[in-house]
Amino acid sequence: MKKKVILFDLDGTLIDSTDAILYSFHKTFDSLGIENPSDEEIKNQIGHPLPKMFLSLGVDEKDTNRASDIYKSFYSKVHTAKTILLPNVAKALKKAHSFTRLGVVTTKTGKYSIELLKHLNIYQYFETIIGSEDVTYHKPHPEPILKALSNMGIKDKKSVWMVGDTCMDIEASINANIKPIGLECGYSDSKTLQNCGAIVLKSVSEAVDYIEDL
């Protein structure tokens, strides 16, 4: 019986959807007639829910939900074509699935997350997918992690890890009383992740090997 559990973030952890995200944000700002933020400004917000991202990027609070809907209309047309797996993720997940139970906890819309996981042929490894619409509070609140564990019937959290690339993933892990691992392959650097309280590794492959060896 598999006793270990790994929950993964999605963007910057398992997949690189940067091109799809940037394209959709720029098209949304064009549609709104608002000056476009830079690519770096957008990337610095990845991991937050869409309305919060738009608010941080200069959209009036009253318009953030409309901006999010416009974004989704563009994103839905390009997300599979403009998203790839990060290096060696498929191999690492296959290995992890042999000795752990797996789930995904993301602030991306669950519908698009499932479509991407199926398109990239890794959906079969996961028991649960928690997206932005599945919770009231998002990372760094513990609710998404706790809901994933509830869906999986996990009560004993001593062998549960969350693997992600931002401090939101790390802080959510700590708030949910599970073990965090930060990855350098995404949208945060090693020092930032360490300061948030994570063990920092380079990739999903390293994280899976580390957990297997424990």
With contact defined as beta carbons under 8 Å apart, do 103 and 152 qualify?
yes
- CB within 8 A of 169, min separation 6: which ones? 9, 13, 47, 139, 162, 163, 180, 182
Candidate list 9, 11, 16, 165, residue with the active-site label: 9
What pTM does this model have? 0.96
With contact defined as beta carbons under 8 Å apart, do 120 and 87 qualify?
no
Q: 163-201 pLDDT, tens per residue? A: 999 999 999 999 999 999 999 999 999 999 999 999 999
Answer yes or no: 9 catalytic.
Answer: yes
Which H or E element spans position 101?
strand 100-105
For residue 123, which amino acid is it?
A: Y
Distance CA 178, CA 61 (A): 33
List the domains of the chain with CATH numbers: 4-16+83-213 (3.40.50.1000), 18-78 (1.10.150.240)
Question: Within 13 A of 28's CA, how many CA atoms are on the CB side?
Answer: 29
Longest dimension (CA), the chain: 55
Q: Measuring CA to CA, how many Å separate 195 from each of 188, 190, 191, 198, 206?
A: 11, 9, 6, 7, 20
Mean per-residue pLDDT of the chain? 97
Q: 85-137 pLDDT, tens per residue? A: 999 999 999 999 999 999 999 999 999 999 999 999 999 999 999 999 999 99
Q: 69-84 pLDDT, tens per residue? A: 999 999 999 999 999 9
- Say whether pLDDT at 1 is over 80: no
Q: 24-52 pLDDT, tens per residue? A: 999 999 999 999 999 999 999 999 999 99
